[in-house]
């Protein structure tokens, strides 16, 4: 990589420090001089975004608002050894009812949705049916509407092969009751309907519970001797984010939106390229009517319904004002695929590449094409005739930069350059911040003229402090950088400490200072459901009815709310060598506000004199937000008052004022225009 120092050394504000030097400088007062009239340097206005991957039950059982688990009876032992098509479902017999569950595949609701449930009622009693308690827990709220729906047909009435008596009347509909029940069996909501006919038909009612319950269950009962074929048995809150049908869990979608992310990368991660060469995430299987989507084994070892698919991702991006950044495989699978750690990369056979590349072109048409184009029509049929305005497309994720990869990546890139020069392709530089794949990935990017590169690093907090100058040596005329996955991993990794959050904040100031190169950055992973967490740490933890943002989330939110598009040439002066103290100063052109961020990663406070050159006479409004805690080890514990939360106050300041930067803190000073 060429070394072109484009940012003054003034910006490098963090060096190693011996304890003796720290003690000697402890009384020093620092200076921060900001020239409000300075032209500054244009930086990315889109720095802070989010990266969504269906890991840790982030989609099904997470952001996707569906409340029932295994709604289409597609769970399988290939996903988890104790799973099968009836996982999550109980056979219910009431009164002296009797019946059984069978699995059908002969006459599916759609070829992409191959299995369904065959419920046989031998003796009706007071009803025979099925129950589902959701993903570990199914909370319902009194007075809120829940859409209970299912697809069904009537294979037979009476006994399948008839009994000794007269054959049952096959024209009779099957009466069905749908209920929400409390854990102890009290009926909270109920509705009745009848299933009739041999055609697969969708039935739906709204259930409104008369009481809240933290652990409810959904029950479907059939009331006549006979059979019932059932699929896509679903319970969906009506109160989704922005009220979207087939939408997202409101609280989780809102907490992400509250970051004000400027972009969203999806659907992964390793999930994209999959654990086998044809097991990649197929965007086409994720759009269209939900009952026609092809669920698949998730690379992270569970089931993904694709109910939250490309349409829902793009819709969510639009709803929160984030630019969509989908990622497609570069025609290779994960390097750990096929249970072969580090040795699993395989490429699609070259003769399959043209069809695969056509899928990528179709994605662009689906997102951006007119409503009367082949794929634009699919988007329009889903309720979005206007194009989504796709501009960025990731190709590859953390791939080993092998000849197999290079050949396929170039094939895709060449076609995209020729047919869609308006699309910014984001390449990959492997899984680490340095090393073979990083070097080879960057070499390939330079060779092929790829406009943007996705870098990933999961590292110690100290690594961030030691690498604040990383991007100063990057070629200003070369590819832009997308720090697509990063996080500071403290010890133990299960704890999202203040120390880790401040290290990320320090990293973010360095991204801002180098915002002419670093275009985007997204913490990873975003979401994790308690009890189904495969990876630590994550930005936001959640349960069935609660959301637990970490301190790291607060850092993302503060940077998301206080971004700028212009870097002012100012930094803390007088910082003793090695002290974990760094800053950035940006201007937001839209508001005219100047925003100073100071990160103090030391166990002691520092005071500084902040002064504004070119300031007009008189006082200005200063909003000061401080994120700090009792010490660097604190973490926000589930359901407890936060150990560290941002606190904001507003004051008036003149052209110069003194400011204390507390031990272990992020301070955001927003000078209002
Ligand atoms: O963020 C979790 C995983 O980390 C991603 O899937 C992958 O890209 C990286 O290894």
Q: Is residue 396 part of a domain?
A: no
Backbone angles phi, psi at 256, to 5 degrees: -70, -45
In the reported structure, the alpha carbon of residue 346 is separated from the centroid of ligand 1 by a whole-number distance in angstroms of: 18
In the reported structure, the alpha carbon of residue 672 is separated from the centroid of ligand 1 by a whole-number distance in angstroms of: 39
pLDDT of residue 27: 47
Q: Is residue 156 part of a domain?
A: yes
CATH number of the domain enclosing 206: 2.60.120.260
Minimum-distance ligand 1 atom for the alpha carbon of 397: 8
- Nearest-CA residue for ligand 1 atom 8 is 269
Probe target for ligand 1 pocket from 54, 267, 269, with the most ligand atoms within 8 Å of CB: 269
Minimum-distance ligand 1 atom for the alpha carbon of 431: 10
Residue for token pair 């133990």: 492
Residue for token pair 């970051």: 259
Minimum-distance ligand 1 atom for the alpha carbon of 458: 4
Coil/strand/helix, residue 93: strand
The 8 Å CB, 24+ separation contacts for 540-543 are: 540/252, 540/255, 540/256, 541/638, 542/62, 542/251, 542/252, 543/137, 543/638
Minimum-distance ligand 1 atom for the alpha carbon of 524: 1
Please state, in angstroms and rounded to a whole number, the distance separating the CA atoms of residues 662 and 603.
Answer: 8
Q: What angle do CA 41, 44, 47 make, to 5 degrees?
A: 135
Nearest to 479 by CA among 455, 449, 513, 439: 449
Buried b (16+ CB within 10 A) or exposed e, 204-218: ebebbbeeebebbbb
- Nearest-CA residue for ligand 1 atom 5 is 269
Q: Is residue 232 part of a domain?
A: yes
Q: Is residue 155 part of a domain?
A: yes
Q: How many CB atoms lie within 10 A of CB 59?
A: 27
Beta-strand relationship, 302-304 and 296-298: antiparallel
Q: Give the residue numbers spanning the domain of 144.
A: 89-237
Distance of CA 358 to CAs 367, 382, 571, 585, Å? Answer: 14, 21, 49, 45
pLDDT score of 15 more than 80: no
Please state, in angstroms and rounded to a whole number, the distance separating the CA atoms of residues 504 and 487.
Answer: 7
Strand ranges (E), 314-451 = 323-328, 392-395, 424-428
Catalytically annotated residues: 398
pLDDT of residue 5: 32
Q: Is residue 101 part of a domain?
A: yes
Please state, in angstroms and rounded to a whole number, the distance separating the CA atoms of residues 216 and 249.
Answer: 17
pLDDT digits (tens, 9 = 90+) for 577-613: 999 999 999 999 999 999 999 999 999 999 999 999 9
Neighbouring-strand partners of residue 644: none
Probe target for ligand 1 pocket from 58, 485, 522, with the most ligand atoms within 8 Å of CB: 485
Residue for token pair 């794949």: 437
Containing 440, the helix (H) or strand (E) segment is helix 436-448
Alpha-carbon dihedral sign for residues 261, 266, 270, 273: negative
Probe target for ligand 1 pocket from 50, 52, 53, 299, with the most ligand atoms within 8 Å of CB: 53
Coil/strand/helix, residue 153: strand
In the reported structure, the alpha carbon of residue 648 is separated from the centroid of ligand 1 by a whole-number distance in angstroms of: 34
Please state, in angstroms and rounded to a whole number, the distance separating the CA atoms of residues 541 and 34.
Answer: 38
- Nearest-CA residue for ligand 1 atom 4 is 269
Minimum-distance ligand 1 atom for the alpha carbon of 270: 6
- Nearest-CA residue for ligand 1 atom 7 is 269
In the reported structure, the alpha carbon of residue 252 is separated from the centroid of ligand 1 by a whole-number distance in angstroms of: 21
pLDDT digits (tens, 9 = 90+) for 145-156: 999 999 999 999
pLDDT of residue 28: 56
Task: Name the band, by pLDDT with cuts 50, 70 and 90, for residue 18.
Answer: very low
Sequential DSSP letters for 330-364:
-SB--TTGGG-TTT---B--GGGHHHHHHHHHHHH
In the reported structure, the alpha carbon of residue 269 is separated from the centroid of ligand 1 by a whole-number distance in angstroms of: 5
pLDDT score of 3 more than 50: no
Minimum-distance ligand 1 atom for the alpha carbon of 398: 8
- Nearest-CA residue for ligand 1 atom 1 is 525
- Nearest-CA residue for ligand 1 atom 9 is 269
Distance of CA 352 to CAs 295, 396, 485, Å? Answer: 22, 17, 30
Residue 262 in contact with residue 323, Cβ under 8 Å? Answer: yes
pLDDT digits (tens, 9 = 90+) for 56-113: 999 999 999 999 999 999 999 999 999 999 999 999 999 999 999 999 999 999 999 9
Q: Is residue 73 part of a domain?
A: no
In the reported structure, the alpha carbon of residue 342 is separated from the centroid of ligand 1 by a whole-number distance in angstroms of: 14
Strand ranges (E), 59-114 = 89-94, 98-104
Cis omega before residue 280 (within 30°)?
Answer: no
Buried b (16+ CB within 10 A) or exposed e, 94-109: beebebebeebeeebb
Mean pLDDT of 201-230: 98
Q: Give every strand in the sheet of 647-653, ordered side by side.
A: 41-42, 566-567, 581-587, 594-600, 665-671, 620-628, 647-653
Buried b (16+ CB within 10 A) or exposed e, 641-666: ebbbebeeeeeebebebebebbbbbb
The ligand 1 site (C-beta within 6 Å) comprises 53, 55, 268-270, 397-398, 431, 485, 524-525, 535
Please state, in angstroms and rounded to a whole number, the distance separating the CA atoms of residues 290 and 568.
Answer: 49
Q: Tell me what percent of the residues of the chain surpass a pLDDT of 70.
A: 96
Please state, in angstroms and rounded to a whole number, the distance separating the CA atoms of residues 559 and 647.
Answer: 15
Q: Is residue 177 part of a domain?
A: yes
Please state, in angstroms and rounded to a whole number, the distance separating the CA atoms of residues 60 and 41.
Answer: 43
Please state, in angstroms and rounded to a whole number, the distance separating the CA atoms of residues 265 and 247.
Answer: 18
Coil/strand/helix, residue 27: coil
In the reported structure, the alpha carbon of residue 339 is separated from the centroid of ligand 1 by a whole-number distance in angstroms of: 16
In the reported structure, the alpha carbon of residue 338 is separated from the centroid of ligand 1 by a whole-number distance in angstroms of: 17
pLDDT digits (tens, 9 = 90+) for 611-645: 999 877 789 999 999 999 999 999 999 999 999 99
Task: Name the band, by pLDDT with cuts 50, 70 and 90, for residue 165.
Answer: confident
Minimum-distance ligand 1 atom for the alpha carbon of 535: 2
- Half-sphere exposure (CA, 13 Å, Cβ side) for 428? 31
Q: Is residue 277 part of a domain?
A: no
pLDDT score of 230 more than 90: yes
Please state, in angstroms and rounded to a whole number, the distance separating the CA atoms of residues 57 and 457.
Answer: 22
pLDDT score of 405 more than 90: yes
In the reported structure, the alpha carbon of residue 458 is separated from the centroid of ligand 1 by a whole-number distance in angstroms of: 9
Please state, in angstroms and rounded to a whole number, the distance separating the CA atoms of residues 665 and 606.
Answer: 10
Q: Give the total number of structural domains in the chain.
A: 1
Mean pLDDT of the chain: 94
Mean pLDDT of 240-250: 98
- Nearest-CA residue for ligand 1 atom 2 is 525
Please state, in angstroms and rounded to a whole number, the distance separating the CA atoms of residues 638 and 541.
Answer: 8
């Amino acid at each position: 990589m060429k070394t072109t120092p484009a940012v003054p050394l003034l910006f490098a504000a963090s060096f190693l420090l011996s304890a003796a030097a720290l003690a000697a400088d402890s009384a020093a007062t620092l200076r921060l001089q900001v020239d409000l009239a300075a032209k500054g340097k244009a930086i990315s206005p889109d720095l802070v975004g989010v990266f969504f991957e269906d890991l840790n039950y982030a989609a099904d059982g997470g952001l996707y608002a569906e409340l029932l688990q295994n709604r289409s009876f597609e769970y399988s032992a290939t996903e988890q050894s104790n799973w099968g098509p009836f996982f999550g479902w109980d056979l219910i017999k009431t009164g002296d009812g009797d019946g059984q569950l069978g699995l059908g595949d002969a006459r599916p609701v759609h070829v992409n949705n191959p299995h369904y449930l065959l419920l046989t009622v031998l003796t009706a009693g007071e009803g025979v049916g099925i129950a589902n308690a959701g993903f570990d827990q199914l909370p319902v709220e009194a007075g809120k509407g829940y859409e209970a729906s299912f697809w069904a047909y009537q294979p037979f009435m009476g006994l399948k092969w008839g009994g000794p008596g007269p054959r049952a009347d096959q024209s009779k509909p099957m009466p069905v009751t749908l209920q929400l029940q409390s854990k102890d069996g009290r009926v909270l909501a109920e509705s009745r309907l009848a299933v009739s006919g041999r055609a697969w038909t969708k039935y739906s009612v709204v259930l409104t519970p008369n009481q809240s319950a933290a652990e409810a269950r959904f029950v479907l009962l059939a009331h006549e001797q006979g059979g019932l074929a059932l699929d896509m048995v679903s319970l969906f809150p009506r109160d989704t984010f922005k009220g979207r049908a087939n939408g997202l869990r409101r609280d989780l979608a809102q907490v992400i939106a509250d970051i004000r992310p400027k972009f969203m990368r999806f659907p992964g991660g390793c999930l994209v390229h999959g654990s086998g060469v044809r097991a990649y995430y197929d965007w086409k299987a994720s759009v269209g009517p939900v009952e026609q989507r092809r669920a698949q084994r998730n690379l992270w070892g569970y089931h993904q319904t694709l109910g939250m698919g490309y349409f829902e991702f793009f819709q969510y991006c639009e709803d929160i004002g984030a630019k969509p950044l989908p990622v497609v495989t570069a025609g290779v699978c994960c390097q750990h695929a096929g249970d072969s750690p580090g040795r699993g990369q395989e490429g699609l056979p070259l003769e399959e590449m043209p069809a695969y590349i056509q899928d990528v072109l179709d994605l662009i048409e689906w997102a951006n094409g007119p409503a009367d184009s082949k794929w634009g029509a699919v988007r329009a049929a889903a309720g979005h005739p206007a194009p989504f305005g796709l501009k960025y497309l990731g190709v590859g994720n953390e791939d080993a930069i092998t000849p197999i990869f290079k050949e396929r990546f170039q094939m895709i890139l060449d076609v995209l350059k020729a047919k869609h020069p308006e699309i910014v392709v984001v390449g990959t530089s492997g899984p680490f911040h340095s090393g073979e794949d990083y070097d080879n990935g960057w070499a390939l990017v330079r060779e092929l003229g790829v406009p943007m590169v996705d870098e990933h690093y999961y590292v110690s907090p100290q690594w961030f402090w030691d690498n604040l100058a990383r991007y100063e040596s990057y070629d200003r005329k070369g590819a832009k950088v997308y720090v697509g996955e990063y996080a500071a991993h403290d010890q133990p990794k299960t704890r999202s400490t203040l120390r880790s959050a401040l290290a990320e904040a320090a990293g973010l100031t360095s991204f801002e200072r180098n915002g002419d190169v670093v275009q985007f950055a997204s913490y990873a992973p975003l979401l994790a459901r308690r009890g189904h967490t495969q990876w630590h740490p994550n930005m936001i933890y959640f349960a069935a009815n609660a959301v637990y943002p970490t301190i790291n989330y607060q850092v993302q939110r503060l940077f998301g709310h206080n971004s700028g598009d212009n870097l002012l040439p100012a930094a803390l002066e007088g910082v003793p060598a090695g002290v974990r103290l760094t800053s950035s100063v940006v201007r937001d052109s839209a508001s005219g506000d100047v925003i100073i961020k100071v990160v103090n990663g030391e166990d002691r406070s520092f005071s500084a004199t902040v002064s504004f050159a070119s300031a007009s006479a008189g006082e200005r409004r200063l909003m000061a937000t401080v994120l700090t805690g009792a010490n660097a080890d604190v973490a926000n514990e589930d359901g407890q008052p936060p150990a560290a939360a941002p606190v904001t106050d507003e004051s008036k300041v003149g052209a110069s004022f003194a400011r204390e930067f507390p031990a272990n803190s992020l301070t955001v000073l927003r000078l209002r225009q």
